[in-house]
Structure 1
Amino acid sequence: MLDSRQIKVFAEVVRTGSYSAAARSLGYTPPAISQQMKAMERAVGTPLFARVGRGLKLTDAGQVLARHTSDILEKLMSVQEQIAAVARLKAGRVRICAFPSASATLVPAAVSRITDSHPGIRIELTELEPPLSLEALCRGDSDVTLGFSYADVVAEQPDEELLRVPLTDDPMLVLMPTWHPLARRRSVDLSQLAQDRWIAGCVRCRGHLVRRCAEAGFEPDIAFASDDNLAVQSLVAAGFGVSLMPAMVLSFMRHPKVAGLPLVPAAHRHVSAYTLAGHEQIPAVRLILDALRQAASEQRPRGVKAAP
């Protein structure tokens, strides 16, 4: 395989016409230039120069290489400049995969912070709920994934290849229509809603609802289920049931005829960012993770702690 340093030396030998002239130009000794060219000839498997008197003449193979040397060096320079731009955060691309409420809150705040200071970085966003979002990360379809898990479940142990970056704990609220008998309370115990019908969310959210209700001593009568947060709120407002919803959702979207009450005892979900282990050292990925931490800190409701 050709070495970039050898290519540069070869180009200088061709330009100056001799090892000694190339040595003076590059600040090397003539033997050092000779060794570089011998190593290069071994790499390509054929002589590149032939001695003609005291001078040098390019062999046929040397002429082929000489015709391409300029292009090779230009491409190497271009690659080096692009890599340097990425390292200086003047360029690069980061693909984020997030669940809907995070893509409506944490992601815009983080992306805004980054694009203001690093406009050359391209950020792309797709939406998936966990665990599908983590699977996308493992497949290489995203660089940073936002996911969540519930506090009443043993913390997920992600693949050893993944790095988990805790962001925040998102409180769970009970949604009920504003005319519900308990709507004016400061908080509510799930046992007080044992006779109500329920509206469930995504598969993971539904599992959390069923577990919490079981702890409160009843099995919820789930009449509707929807992954659409607006649809859930509309169903609640119309009186078709009550629901559990993260405070993060209500921070940007609240139906005027819906009340959200904290649970007693409190419940929350852990929100985290994930990337492949070692990728946090990539400048643009590290920048995204830092911006997500800052966004989570700024948007965290008063009294709510960061995720462990």
Structure 2
Amino acid sequence: MDLATIELIQELARSGSIRQTAELSGMSPTAVTRQLDKLEHAFGTPLVERTPRGVRLTAAGEVVVARSHNVARELSMTRQMIDELKGLRRGHVSVHVNGAAISSILAPAISEFSGLHPQISIEVVVSSAQAALDAVATGQTDLAVTMFAPVDARVVIRFRMPVRHEPILSPEHPLAAREELSISDLVGCRLALPNRSFGVRRQFDARLRAQGYEPSEAAFTTSSLELQKDLARRGSAVLILPQMTVQREIDNGDLVMRPFTPQSRIETLLDLSHSLTRHQSFAARQLLEFLERFLDRHHG
């Protein structure tokens, strides 16, 4: 099974459609079906079953897709290592981040890096902090940038910085007149927060309980940073975010930050990490070193 066949079965698993797989792979549906038939013949069992809506994996197909993912990464890594030996400066790097807030922090860094290294492609995957660390440790991704992450001996912390989450709101909001805010000030306010799988929400709930309040549902529950910012700009909600994720809106006068009082602070660490044992490709090393310098320069 070569890399092209692995990529084909992976795409078929993602899309559930022979036609869509054909379009994305630059092949005809007949060619995709022929490749699938060859793969099923090689394994001696059906890998997909046809449904009115397309195709879905059989149990055997799920095994092949799961196992072939690591094979694809190893083949891609091998190709990058050979390119490196040949003096070629190209490749692909994958980064797992937990939460949209980190994505917004990374956006200017990745944009600048891409201008310096146009031959390196970058994939950014948003997941939970634990899933990001698992992906790094098992070789499913090259780097992780996380907040509210547990200690994990399988990874190396390359860069770390403290991050505070503060109330973010419209300059027209009544609380914007305050110099600082406490957790109790936000009780009864309409908030836009991510769900409780996110560390910031769990910390906010813990602060509420510490001050004698029972956590309740937020007016808006969403992990979409853009939706949160839009609600805040309209005066419909107060957010709890790192200031750097909304610095552009603050500079434009659309939003303001009012710090928490010392007793109400929500603090965590932003970590840039990589695997303790796995080899780093040229592309991964370049991005790792660049992110370390960028974060230290702009936020350190």
SS across alignment from 1:178:
coil
Q: C-alpha distance in 1, partners of 2:247/2:115?
A: 23
Stretches of structure 2 lacking an aligned partner (at least 5 in a row): 1-78
Please tell me whether the aligned partners of residues 249 and 255 of structure 2 are also in contact (alpha carbons under 8 angstroms).
no
Q: Deviations over 1:217-258 (max 9, x none)?
A: 323442321101222233344454433112232124569654
Q: What is the CA distance between 1:81 and its match in structure 2?
A: 6.1
In structure 1, the residue matched to 2:244 is 248
Relative to structure 1, the CA distance from residue 297 to residue 286 in structure 2 (aligned partners, 3 Å threshold; closer, same or farther) is same
SS across alignment from 1:297:
helix
In structure 1, the residue matched to 2:146 is 147
What is the RMSD computed on CA atoms of the aligned residues?
Answer: 3.1
Q: C-alpha distance in 2, partners of 1:287/1:219?
A: 47
Please tell me whether the aligned partners of residues 167 and 292 of structure 1 are also in contact (alpha carbons under 8 angstroms).
no
In structure 2, the residue matched to 1:210 is 205
Q: Does 1:259 align with 2:250?
A: no
Q: C-alpha distance in 2, partners of 1:91/1:299?
A: 26
Q: C-alpha distance in 2, partners of 1:238/1:188?
A: 20
> What one-letter code is carried by the residue in structure 1 that aligns with 2:295?
A
In structure 2, the residue matched to 1:156 is 150
Q: What is the CA distance between 1:262 and its match in structure 2?
A: 1.2
In structure 1, the residue matched to 2:83 is 82
Residue 179 (structure 1) aligned to one of 158, 169, 172? 172
Q: C-alpha distance in 2, partners of 1:271/1:197?
A: 27
> What one-letter code is carried by the residue in structure 2 that aligns with 1:82?
D
Q: Does 1:192 align with 2:176?
A: no
Q: What is the CA distance between 1:79 and its match in structure 2?
A: 10
The equivalences for 1:1-308 within 5 A come to 82-85=83-86, 90-98=89-97, 99-110=99-110, 112-113=112-113, 115-116=115-116, 118-149=117-148, 156-158=150-152, 160-202=153-195, 203-204=197-198, 205-221=200-216, 222-253=218-249, 258-265=255-262, 266-279=265-278, 282-300=281-299, 306=300
Q: What is the CA distance between 1:280 and its match in structure 2?
A: 6.7
> What one-letter code is carried by the residue in structure 1 that aligns with 2:284?
V
Normalising by structure 1, we get a TM-score of: 0.59
Relative to structure 1, the CA distance from residue 212 to residue 119 in structure 2 (aligned partners, 3 Å threshold; closer, same or farther) is same
Q: What is the CA distance between 1:199 and its match in structure 2?
A: 2.6
Please tell me whether the aligned partners of residues 191 and 217 of structure 1 are also in contact (alpha carbons under 8 angstroms).
no
Please tell me whether the aligned partners of residues 89 and 121 of structure 1 are also in contact (alpha carbons under 8 angstroms).
no
Relative to structure 1, the CA distance from residue 179 to residue 220 in structure 2 (aligned partners, 3 Å threshold; closer, same or farther) is farther
Q: C-alpha distance in 2, partners of 1:193/1:176?
A: 11
> What one-letter code is carried by the residue in structure 2 that aligns with 1:223?
A
Please tell me whether the aligned partners of residues 130 and 148 of structure 1 are also in contact (alpha carbons under 8 angstroms).
yes
SS across alignment from 1:262:
coil
Q: Deviations over 1:253-305 (max 9, x none)?
A: 569654321111143331112221134765433322221111112322xxxxx
Relative to structure 1, the CA distance from residue 284 to residue 164 in structure 2 (aligned partners, 3 Å threshold; closer, same or farther) is same
> What one-letter code is carried by the residue in structure 1 that aligns with 2:274?
T
Relative to structure 1, the CA distance from residue 115 to residue 188 in structure 2 (aligned partners, 3 Å threshold; closer, same or farther) is same
Relative to structure 1, the CA distance from residue 289 to residue 107 in structure 2 (aligned partners, 3 Å threshold; closer, same or farther) is farther
Please tell me whether the aligned partners of residues 188 and 264 of structure 1 are also in contact (alpha carbons under 8 angstroms).
yes
In structure 2, the residue matched to 1:22 is none
| Greater C-alpha Rg | 1
Relative to structure 1, the CA distance from residue 89 to residue 185 in structure 2 (aligned partners, 3 Å threshold; closer, same or farther) is farther
Q: What is the CA distance between 1:174 and its match in structure 2?
A: 0.6
Relative to structure 1, the CA distance from residue 217 to residue 180 in structure 2 (aligned partners, 3 Å threshold; closer, same or farther) is farther
Q: C-alpha distance in 2, partners of 1:274/1:208?
A: 23
Q: What is the CA distance between 1:148 and its match in structure 2?
A: 0.9
> What one-letter code is carried by the residue in structure 2 that aligns with 1:147?
T
In structure 1, the residue matched to 2:12 is none
Q: How many residues align?
A: 215
Q: C-alpha distance in 1, partners of 2:80/2:287?
A: 24
Q: C-alpha distance in 1, partners of 2:190/2:296?
A: 35
Relative to structure 1, the CA distance from residue 269 to residue 237 in structure 2 (aligned partners, 3 Å threshold; closer, same or farther) is same
Q: Deviations over 1:89-110 (max 9, x none)?
A: 7233222222433333325425
Normalising by structure 2, we get a TM-score of: 0.60
Please tell me whether the aligned partners of residues 133 and 144 of structure 2 are also in contact (alpha carbons under 8 angstroms).
yes
